[in-house]
Amino acid sequence: MYFGIDLGTTNSLISVFENGQPRLISSKPMVPSVVALIDGALITGDAAKERLPTHPKDTVAAFKRAMGTDKTFKLGRQTHTAVDLSAMVLAHLKHLASSETGYDVSDVVISVPAYFNQLQRDAVRAAALAADLNPLRLINEPTAAAIAYGLQDIDEQGHILVFDLGGGTFDVSIIEVFEGVLEVKATSGDAFLGGEDFTKVLFEHLAQKHGIPTDDVVIKARLWDAAESLKQRLSTAHEAECDFVCDDRTESLSISRDTFSDIASNLVRRLRLPVERALYDAKLTSQQIDKVVLVGGATRMPLVRSQVSRMLGKLPEVGIDPDHVVALGAGIQAALTANDAALDDVVMTDVSAFSLGFSISRQFGNRYEHGFFEPVIERNTVIPASREHIFQTVELGQTEVHFELYQGEAPRVQDNIKLGAMKVKVPRNSKDYESIAVRLSYDTSGLLEVDTTVLSTQKTQSVTITDLTGGLSAREISARKKALQSLKVHPKDNEDNLALLARIERCYAMALAEDRNQLQNMLLTFQYALDRQNPSEIQSLQESLSEQLDQFETNYVR
């Protein structure tokens, strides 16, 4: 039996995979991600959520947004971190699953927003450990959704775009399904956009329109509750209204879909960028998307659905309940991770959600500015991946180079996340700059290796960063490292690639003028691809070039 968890900002769910299928645990599977303090004891789930409007000082919600930060939450006199609070929700889910299946739930796969960085992912692992769970693996939420849909019609092929708008986060992923292989092509998102923001604009609109004071925490919490309920009712009705008692008067609050669309128009606009970025990274146009899958409660809003249709030119699929799909996918992933026989034919690949690279200095006129980010493995690279980059010293006679490894998309490293550092000695050279080849290798477990070679001396040095792996055992780590070795051969040195290059050159030798142009183009194209070190690009070129060469050789032999 394998278990998968969707640890949501708003609601959390646990699924179990058995008899070749995932299903949700418990008759009411959505557990509100809320923690409340009652008579000195902490509780979570529905009972805690009930107390949110009446006891706002003793209740916390939406703490997932603070994962990976030092922020603390006050509950009465107690203070807790987002990790503590998430651990309580996870322990609750563990308990639900254990009592229903009679199985001691320990190994789990937990989903996280694709855009969670390494610190946020570490926080999720820490919460799992604190809840006495063993996080086998974290999976990106939209990837989990795609697995759930992909498995349904695994024999179909094409591109799926997963559009996940939850309570606090927005994720977009593009996944290719092909002969039983699910390959994540690109992920993108906005870590600070979700259904809560739609509630917030409605809350502010109501407060202003009806002159409701929001500095009182209790009134504020009740108005929030009213806004949330009006928002949800607008998903099925064109207008919604409710009474609100405040300071001895009763206000009749009402909202129409049109007004809501107006006040939420900025939020709706923000949905566009991550979709465009994912399409761009996947090198696809919106017409090439075969299926659009909606995930997350906030995709129930008609204004979101029509924006999706407008952007992608097709109506979204609604086969699986948008609230359940991520948890089901996480359950499938748990079975995949454990190599369950039922899923023998399914292969999953994933991409790195972030760019990885080093801090470098750039020259402006005759002075140097430090702290620029130079990516080596770019975001949305299929992992495991291994890439090499040549760096140079900045000063003549420099004897040491300090490499600082960062993760992120910002041009300056100060805005990215530092993962580690290493020093490399280079020979003192007062005539020329020294070059260092740096190879970064990264796999799905989070294992990161840095190998450096000083080109003039061929001296090598390696550092393995394992604190991103979430506590893999020494044995697992050494197995992972072995698996990465084969990737570390530069594609330029790979025998098949060398053979293909030689074949193009041989054909060139026997070809005539106009064919020679074509062959030269083939040579350049292939060399560029080798430089970029993208395995899938290289493989597809190997195939297409070999075919062209076959054709060419038949013509010449004739």
Interface ranges with ligand ADP (CB under 6 A): 8-11, 166-168, 194-196, 199, 228, 231-232, 235, 296-298, 300-301, 323
Q: What is the DSSP string of 365-411?
A: TTEEEEEEEEEEE-TT-EESEEEEEEEE-SSTT--EEEEEEEESS-S
Find which of ligand ADP, Mg ion, none residue 59 binds, CB within 5 to 8 Å per kind: none
Backbone angles phi, psi at 173, to 5 degrees: -135, 145
Give the range of 162-170, 352-360, 416-424, 428-436 binding Mg ion by CB under 5 A: 162-170
> Closer to ligand ADP at the Cβ: 10 or 453?
10
The reply on whether position 29 binds Mg ion by CB under 5 A is no
> Closer to ligand ADP at the Cβ: 302 or 371?
302
> Closer to ligand ADP at the Cβ: 3 or 260?
260
- Minimum gap (Å) between residue 11 Cβ and Mg ion: 7
Find which of Mg ion, ligand ADP, none residue 150 binds, CB within 5 to 8 Å per kind: none
> What is the CB-side half-sphere exposure of residue 325 using CA atoms within 13 A?
30
- Minimum gap (Å) between residue 359 Cβ and ligand ADP: 34
DSSP lists the bridge partners of residue 391 as 436
Instruction: Indicate the angle between helix axes 495-510 and 513-532, nearest 10 degrees.
Output: 160
Find which of Mg ion, ligand ADP, none residue 22 binds, CB within 5 to 8 Å per kind: none
The bridge status of strand 382-383 relative to strand 367-377 is unpaired
Find which of Mg ion, ligand ADP, none residue 307 binds, CB within 5 to 8 Å per kind: none
User: How many CB atoms are closer than 10 A to CB 509?
Assistant: 9
- Minimum gap (Å) between residue 7 Cβ and ligand ADP: 8
Backbone angles phi, psi at 265, to 5 degrees: -60, -35
Find which of Mg ion, ligand ADP, none residue 167 binds, CB within 5 to 8 Å per kind: ligand ADP
Find which of ligand ADP, Mg ion, none residue 300 binds, CB within 5 to 8 Å per kind: ligand ADP
The footprint of Mg ion on residues 291-310 (CB under 5 A) is 296
Of the candidate residues 4, 5, 8, 383, the single one contacting Mg ion (CB under 5 A): 8
**What is the token pair recorded at 462?**
């390696």
The reply on whether position 168 binds Mg ion by CB under 5 A is no
SS3 77: coil
Find which of ligand ADP, Mg ion, none residue 118 binds, CB within 5 to 8 Å per kind: none
SS3 255: strand
Q: What is the DSSP string of 26-47?
A: SSS--EE-EEEEETTEEEESHH
Quick one: 246 exposed, middle or buried, by C-beta within 10 A (0-12, 13-18, 19+)? middle
The residues binding Mg ion (CB under 5 A) are 8, 166, 296
